[in-house]
Structure 1
Amino acid sequence: FHQGSLSIFPLILTNALNQAMDEELERDERVFLLGEEVAQYDGAYKVSRGLWKKYGDKRIIDTPITEMGFAGIAVGAAFAGLRPICEFMTWNFSMQAIDQVINSAAKTYYMSAGAQPVPIVFRGPNGSSAGVAAQHSQCFAAWYGHCPGLKVVSPWNSEDARGLLKAAIRDDNPVVFLENELMYGVPFDLSEEVMQKDFVVPIGKAKVERQGTHITLVSHSRCVGFCLDAATVLAKEGVECEVVNLRTIRPLDVDTIEASVMKTGHLVTVEGGWPQYGVGAEICARVMEGPAFNYLDAPAVRVTGVDIPMPYAKILEDHSVPQIKDIIFSVKKVLNM
């Protein structure tokens, strides 16, 4: 994966998430974490390593295997003025608790005419994993991005993870925080500024990870790295790709996307989710409906996961999610190369 420059602190993504939670738990006594195996076991992916020993049973809480139950407890705690972080061992298990996320968390501020905020973070690994088949490997960005009342964020690197999680915990709205299991162990270099306790990444603001003039690649989560790698290959052929890291799915930073498309005149969206009604489809619709449409020199193209449940066999799994070669092929198609 492509990594940033001008950096001094290498940090894997799990440690970035751990630091963010630790600092926010220390900063605000209303913050607490609950979920399956988050306390004594340090989390299924060790994201909460050391937090139970530091903060104790009242703030780092192991739950039974009942997502509907502990998600409901977390939402109720947010109603009461606390700031819960509700961990799903995987976002696939959030299907057991979707009524709490959509009907209880997302809609209450509106239904109470603004009287009842719901400051809660739902977080855990999202998207394709490795060798866990259809029921444990899918992207929920479009699922939750569809719902008014939720903020939905999808970090790619350690800076995103650290800054966005801190922003999410401080936000007075329910935030769906979509991590990626395959990125957990990937190190990224962070600047001294990013390591400051008060550093946050604003929710709703995308980041241009690479400047370019010929075509815009818009992506989120793990696929941002694929876009950057594809851009490196294409640069050797004289194609300069501008890579936009969405960071936030909802609210979508349409301004940054439009500005890039108006600069390059071409657009490819890249995501790990299914094609129908996906994040890329929404981006293409927004571009078509806005001023950037008049700047397009060719139709936009989407690179997505294949429209099937995730297979178990590795060779089929690899063919079911976007690869660098798929991005390169789509860029050349748009540019008529």
Structure 2
Amino acid sequence: METQTREAENMTFNAVKQTNQKLHSNPEISDHNKQVLDEFFRTMQTRGTGESTLKDYASRFNSIAEHIDFKLDQAERRDIESIVAGFNTDRITKRNEEPYSDYSKKKFWKTIRVFYKTFMDKKGKGFNEELDGTELIEDLEISTNINYDIDLDTRPTPEHIQSVAEQTNNLRDRALIQFGWATGARIGELLYTDESHKYPKGIKWEDIRFNGDEMWVTLRGKTGEREIPIRTSKPLMKRLWEQSEKELESHVFKEKNMSNLCPKCNSRVYARDRSTYERRTYGCDSCGWEDNHEKAKKEKKPLKDSAARKRLKRLMAETDIPDILHRKPHKVFRAA
């Protein structure tokens, strides 16, 4: 018993730690299950599973940790049935008690399927040769309902999006249009909004990971945080990154022109007189700083959602995109 305790203390679960720090430190996951998951990540990695996919699996296990009160490699049918029923009845929810979307439920079920059908495998072959993972989850499925009726007249097609993007040669605008449509994000999740907004800062480069033919995007909004994989718009976003300052904490979408900012409080400063630019004095209304333009900080401010809406409306004016989207251009993204 003492030997087993020392072995547990010496377990580092490196594969788990490298894949997801939160899962590694989650007290609701037993050391036994962490060891099993450690082997799972190692095995899937050697089989060529990408880093982003492994991170997604880890995130799913971490989210349902409190519901895994059994040994993963010794699961019984009723254990898996309980998890499936939890999703189907919305008993298993997000931490804010909101139900998971159908998209998320599908991702959870894929994770469970891969774990038991690919890693545990059939009896006599997988991680635990006594367990038949394929039989364990046979005829079980987390139900989703994604085939709801859609009014196609209110939905932009890829051709509509391309026609809007072709109205500008500006890389930032083209990337915003294609990227926004590909993610289906709320415009307030992508761009800077006023400070009263719950998530006012907009998306930054640290929220985007390029991985092979796709990129993974972390979005934060009123429904919480979610990570999605997309392929459409990746070439444009890659070019935008190459032309940026390549700073991960920098905003992805910025104003085209430099702004004069206060070196003390970073607020925008304004001209105090009408003299020539070289002699012009600038002042800050927030902290009272005042000096010539050379002392002002030069920086591109984040593109605001209000400015983007106006820009989208102008670009859409010459296209045949549905009328409802002309009236509400921000729905170009959410209606995708």
Q: Select the structure with the greater relative contact order (CA < 8 A; seq sep ≥ 6).
A: 1
Q: Same fold (TM over 0.5)?
A: no
Name which one, 1 or 2, has greater alpha-carbon Rg. Answer: 2
Q: Kindly indicate which of the two structures has a greater share of residues assigned to helix.
A: 2
Q: Kindly indicate which of the two structures has a greater share of residues assigned to strand.
A: 1
- TM normalised by structure 2 equals 0.29
